[in-house]
Amino acid sequence: MKLIKLSNRLETLKNLIDYGASIADIGSDHGCLPVYLAQNGYAKKIIASDISAASLKTAQQNAEKYNVADIINFIVAPGLTGIKKNDVDTIVIAGLGGETIIDILKDSPWTKNNLKLILQPQTKINLLCRFLYDNEYKIEKTFFTYDRGKRYTVIVSKN
């Protein structure tokens, strides 16, 4: 079986997911991270969610190409809409702006309860960090990763 290859950025995110986790990849876009997790039996439950039906269709096509479409639950929805607080223990929100991530978290205050958040904002990192601090999210670590000559900030929150 041919394995999907992750970019350095997605590889970094994958390395932060605990083996056996139940994860939701919000803004999944092409679905490479969920496909990788499914191919490697890394997560016990995988949800790929995106506001764009076209993007999610690409994710589904990737999952079909790599024979894991039956393992991933695909949801067309904004943010965490359609995901219940007991569905997952880990939420990945990567590749979106900091303000969008803030809006997603504001709309889902249950994300403060016993969840691991892996956040990789593209913009407004300072606003996101301030929001997390002001709203009592516990930031475990913040660090940088590099991919294709660009620096990305990754924030891990565990409450």
Global confidence as pTM: 0.96
Predicted confidence band of residue 92 (pLDDT cuts 50, 70, 90): very high
CA 106/CA 100 separation, integer angstroms: 10
Residue-by-residue DSSP string for 57-75? HHHHHHHHHTT-TTTEEEE
CA 71/CA 73 separation, integer angstroms: 7
- Please check the confidence at residue 53 and state whether its pLDDT lies above 90: yes
Percent of the chain with pLDDT over 90: 92
Kindly report the length of the chain. Answer: 159
Long-range contacts of residues 69-73, Cβ cutoff 8 Å, at least 24 apart:
71/38, 71/46, 72/31, 72/34, 72/35, 72/38, 72/46, 72/47, 72/48, 73/45, 73/46, 73/47, 73/48
pLDDT reported for residue 50: 96
pLDDT reported for residue 107: 94
pLDDT reported for residue 128: 97
Amino acid at 61: Q
The arithmetic mean of pLDDT across residues 136-153, rounded, is 94
- Please check the confidence at residue 85 and state whether its pLDDT lies above 90: no
The arithmetic mean of pLDDT across residues 91-116, rounded, is 95
Q: How many CB atoms lie within 10 A of CB 117?
A: 23
- Mean pLDDT rounded to a whole number for the chain: 95
- Please check the confidence at residue 1 and state whether its pLDDT lies above 80: no
Q: Tell how strand 90-94 and strand 116-120 pair up.
A: parallel
The arithmetic mean of pLDDT across residues 78-100, rounded, is 94
Domains in the chain and their CATH numbers?
A: 8-158 (3.40.50.150)
Predicted confidence band of residue 159 (pLDDT cuts 50, 70, 90): confident
Please, what's the largest Cα pairwise distance for the chain?
Answer: 46
Amino acid at 38: A
Amino acid at 77: A
The arithmetic mean of pLDDT across residues 121-144, rounded, is 95
